[in-house]
């Protein structure tokens, strides 16, 4: 997943740099990509490398409607009433409003953003040693989520901007543990999960 995201990001960068050189007519759309670090709020979940891309549209002065897709993996340490050891994979798709604090003509602009969307979640559990008659597996459901954050934008040229921001992703979902016992049949146990995270990102935007 992350390799495909990085490939898409660099392909977009190449095409837009070519467009910037030949000087095509501008529009109000921006295409952007980012990389960074995601730090989960729960101590049993490790940090992961964030990668993402998207586009934004100017809807009024200094206000942009942004569409963003990202992904990261997090290593999980087992907890008694939660997930077992394994890898958590999260891929949020968010729609958000970005507000530039001041007109974007200056070299540096701070901005605020808030949004929400759907977070695609999956879990790959490591092998668990049990008696031969029992098989254990876990599954996590995808769910709605939200984010709020702030950042700064650096104007490199008329069409190129560098960005750095921090956001807090809010997400609550549920998981299911399935125990298959050859003697007693299948048992399912549901549990709740808080999958919120603090995300630090640096990125690049192209005006097209």
- What pLDDT is attached to residue 8? 53
pLDDT of residue 130: 62
Question: CA 98, CA 65: separation in Å to the nearest integer?
Answer: 6
pLDDT for the residue 105: 66
Alpha-carbon distance of 31 to 68, in angstroms, equals 10
Domain encompassing residue 114? 2-207
- Residue 132: what pLDDT? 65
Contact between residue 112 and residue 99 where contact means Cβ atoms under 8 Å apart: yes
Could you say which residues of the chain have pLDDT below 50?
1-7, 14-15, 18-26
Q: According to the model, what pLDDT value does residue 181 have? A: 75
What is the CATH number for 143?
2.40.160.20
Please state, in angstroms and rounded to a whole number, the distance separating the CA atoms of residues 180 and 2: 33
At residue 157, the pLDDT reads 87
Dihedral sign for Cα 166, 78, 136, 192, please. Answer: negative
Q: What is the pLDDT of residue 54?
A: 93
Q: pLDDT at position 49, please?
A: 95
Measured CA to CA, the distance from residue 88 to residue 101 in angstroms comes to: 36
| pTM exceeds 0.85 | no
Task: Please choose, from the candidates 167, 48, 170, the residue with its C-alpha nearest in 3D space to the C-alpha of residue 116.
Answer: 170
CA–chain centroid gap for 190, Å, is 25
The reported pLDDT for the residue numbered 81 is: 81
Count how many domains the chain has. Answer: 1
Mean pLDDT of the chain: 84
The helix (run of H) or strand (run of E) holding residue 208 is: none
Q: What SS3 class is residue 86? A: strand
Residue 74: predicted pLDDT: 94
């Amino acid at each position: 997943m992350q390799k495909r995201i990085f490939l898409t990001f660099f392909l977009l960068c190449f095409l837009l740099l070519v467009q910037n050189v030949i000087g095509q007519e501008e529009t109000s759309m921006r295409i952007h990509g980012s990389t960074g670090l995601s730090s989960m709020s729960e101590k049993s979940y490790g940090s992961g490398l964030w990668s993402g891309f998207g586009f934004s549209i100017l809807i009024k002065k200094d206000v942009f409607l942004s569409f963003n897709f990202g992904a990261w993996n997090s290593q999980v340490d087992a907890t008694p009433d939660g997930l077992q050891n394994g890898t958590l994979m999260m891929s949020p798709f968010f729609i958000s409003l970005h507000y530039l604090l001041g007109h974007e003509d200056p070299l540096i602009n701070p901005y605020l953003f808030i949004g929400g969307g759907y977070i695609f979640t999956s879990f790959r559990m490591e092998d668990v040693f049990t008696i031969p008659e029992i098989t254990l597996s876990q599954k996590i459901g995808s769910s709605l989520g939200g984010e709020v954050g702030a950042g700064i934008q650096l104007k490199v040229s008329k069409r190129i901007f560098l960005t750095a921001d921090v956001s807090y992703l809010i997400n609550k979902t549920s998981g299911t543990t399935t125990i298959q016992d050859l003697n007693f049949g299948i048992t399912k146990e549901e549990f709740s999960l808080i999958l919120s995270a603090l995300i630090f990102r640096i990125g690049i935007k192209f005006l097209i």
